[in-house]
Amino acid sequence: MSYQTLKLRSVLSLAVLASAGVSMGYSGVAGAQTVTAVMHSALRVLDPVITTAYITRTHGYMIYDTLLATDANAQIQPQMVDKWVVSDDGKTYTFTLRPGLKWHDGQPVKSEDCIASIKRWAERDKMGQVLLELAADMKVVDDSTFQIVLTQPTNLVLRTLAKASGTAPFMMPKRIAETPSSKAITEHIGSGPFKWVAEEFKPGLKAVYAKNTDYVPRAEPINFTAGGKVVNVDRVVWAVMPDNMTAVNALMSGEIDYIEAVPYDLLPMLEGNKDLNVGIIDKVGYQVMYRMNFLHPPFDNQLVRQAAMYAVSQDDVMKALVGNAKYYKTCAALFGCGMPYESSYGQDMVVSSNIDKAKALLKQAGYDGTPVVILHPTDVYSLSVPPMVIASALRKAGFKVDLQAMDWQTVVTRRAGSEPPAQGGWNIFTTSWSLLDIQDPLRNATVAGNGKQAWFGWPTMPKVEGLRRDFALASDEAKLKSLAEQVQHLAIDEGMVGPLGQYNSVAAYRTNITNVPIEPIPLFWSMKKAGK
């Protein structure tokens, strides 16, 4: 690398940092101790109910809190709730809030706030939708006590309220939670460990969080999303650096503190640096997948969907995305390899490529050359590679492909539209899911088959919906495994989702940052920073 190139990148690094208001340790508040992080994506969508984008979920954990939480052993724990009681018939759950909970505007947290928040969240979340179907009533008992009454006994109430990722059930004041779930909220007030600094937000450039000095952590030690959320710094700044090399240079020079996901090809630059910690923080990992649009040709045809799945090779995707086999594996399981409901069904269709089979299916389906519009986010490394591999595979199989470049937030917006591809719609997009979010048929949004209420792509699969409902009501583990296996079979055969393999991302942070949670979600509340 030439001296001129290094000098140019250094200048770019300082320019980006300066524009974000964080250069040379600047925190925005005199004497404030600040952790400056480069996250995997820029934050633009602030409502954690209307999107499953992980950057928005992580933003949610900064400023909101949850009624229940999940610890590192997958056990359900109280969080905002002090205690709960289940009636003898298993149909009524009574929750009592911790005393002294306050919103960031100083108002007390009340039962009516929680009920409004649960209802708004459940309208969008796939587990929540099942809960709403089973709920006969949600009612206030008093300001600190409320009940959820079911039509049938099930522990689904606890499982949904402790849901850690995807769209987590964050609590908001009633006046905000009464915003229709189809419309983004415009006020961002929670009761969590950080406050949102709205006046410093620059969409696509910078997000700022300040310590909530009124927050009262639980007494228990922190344990994933459960326990006492003790904030040890004054501020957290998320600085956006679209150029990965700029971010790496800034980390090495101490201009930033933390990178959530380092591109694998840049790891050799950081490994062995005595000032940095480099490694896997998320031990659970991610599944890469692609979704086809069931509403419009050519993927309104099952045979064409199957042709696409036979064409694409997981190994090709993983080699292009990760490269180092140390960090990835191929896997047919829709609910995750290494997870409770792992299945190998469909591996002949989704793991290796069979171009001849794909061509035969296209011929049988009568494919007429309808272009396949693939959304290609170019600003997020982990999301940029798979669409290119898919496009190449589909072309080899005989598909006509239109690969359209854009940033990730444009994909997030555009995938929500159901217009025909020729009118700004789409046929395929890719994303990655934490295995936390796909580990069973209820959490995995991609196997919801309830048409217009389903996740983007909108498949209508009544048989799958029946199995998901049975899963919600079942408690016997053998029964749960059987139901999950049946969903795997149907979802693969119908082409509801195309799994592309699993990987672990690698984070890097400076050694003066300690107490970094080694968890599947990047959490900032326990971090400490040495010095000022």
Number of other residues whose CB lies within 10 A of the CB of residue 316: 18
Determine the pLDDT at residue 408: 84
Q: How far does Cα 530 stand from its chain's mean position?
A: 30
| CB of 490 closer than 8 Å to CB of 450 | no
- For 62-76, the three-class secondary structure string (H helix, E strand, C coil) is HHCCECEEECCCCCE
Q: Please report the pLDDT score of residue 218 as a whole number.
A: 96
- DSSP string for residues in 242-290: SSHHHHHHHHHHTS--EES---GGGHHHHTT-TTEEEE-S-SS-EEEEE
Distances in whole angstroms, Cα of residue 17 to Cα of each of 50, 250, 335, 522: 30, 8, 40, 21
Using CA atoms, how far apart are residues 248 and 255, in angstroms rounded to an integer? 10
pLDDT tens, residue order, the chain (532 aa): 332 333 333 333 444 444 444 443 444 454 569 999 999 888 989 999 998 889 999 999 999 999 999 999 889 999 999 999 999 999 999 999 999 999 999 999 999 999 999 999 999 998 898 899 999 999 999 999 999 999 999 989 999 999 999 899 999 999 999 999 999 999 999 999 999 999 999 998 999 999 999 999 999 999 999 999 999 999 999 999 988 999 999 999 999 999 999 989 999 999 999 999 999 989 899 999 999 999 999 999 999 999 999 999 999 999 999 998 999 999 999 999 999 999 999 999 999 999 999 999 999 999 999 999 999 999 877 789 999 999 999 999 999 999 999 998 899 889 999 999 999 999 999 999 999 999 999 999 999 999 998 999 999 999 999 999 999 888 889 999 999 999 999 999 999 999 999 999 999 999 999 999 999 999 999 999 997 4
The separation between CA 118 and the C-alpha centre of its own chain, rounded to angstroms, equals 19
Spatial distance between the Cα atoms of 430 and 457, rounded to a whole number of angstroms: 12
Instruction: Sort strands 34-38 and 258-259 into parallel, antiparallel or unpaired.
Output: parallel
Give the span between the Cα atoms of 229 and 220, in whole angstroms: 9
- Please answer whether residues 59 and 43 qualify as being in contact, where contact means their C-beta atoms are separated by less than 8 angstroms: yes
In the chain, the N- to C-terminal Cα span, in Å, equals: 34
Report the distance separating Cα 381 and Cα 408, nearest Å. Answer: 10
Length of the chain: 532
According to DSSP, the residues that pair with 502 across neighbouring strands are 287, 329
Q: Give the pLDDT score at 29.
A: 53
Whole-prediction pTM value?
0.83
Q: ∠516-518-524 over CA atoms, to 5°?
A: 40
Number of other CB atoms surrounding residue 45 within 10 Å? 16
Q: Looking at residue 382, what is its pLDDT?
A: 79
Q: How far apart are CA 146 and CA 95, in angstroms?
A: 6
Separation in Å, CA 164 to CA 61, 70, 159, 291, 497:
10, 6, 10, 23, 22
Report how far residue 172's alpha carbon sits from residue 47's, in angstroms, rounded to the nearest whole number: 11
**The predicted structure's pLDDT at residue 13:** 40
pLDDT value at position 481?
97
Q: Which of 375, 314, 397 is nearest to 349 (CA)?
A: 314
The two three-digit tokens of residue 92, written as one number: 């009524």
Strand pairing partners for 140?
Answer: 146
Task: Please tell me the predicted confidence (pLDDT) of residue 31.
Answer: 55
Backbone angle region of 451, left / alpha / beta, with phi > 0 → left and psi within -120 to 50 → alpha: left
Delineate the domains of the chain, giving CATH numbers in brackets: 3-22+29-63+192-282+506-529 (3.40.190.10), 68-177 (3.90.76.10), 286-503 (3.10.105.10)
Q: Contact 9/246 with Cβ under 8 angstroms? A: yes
The Cα–Cα gap between 258 and 277 comes to 10
Structure tokens at 59: 């933003």
Pairing mode of beta strands 34-38, 68-70 = unpaired
Reduced DSSP (H G I as helix, E B as strand, rest coil) percent helix, strand, coil of the chain, to 5:
35, 20, 45
Q: Which residues pair with 70 in a beta bridge?
A: 76
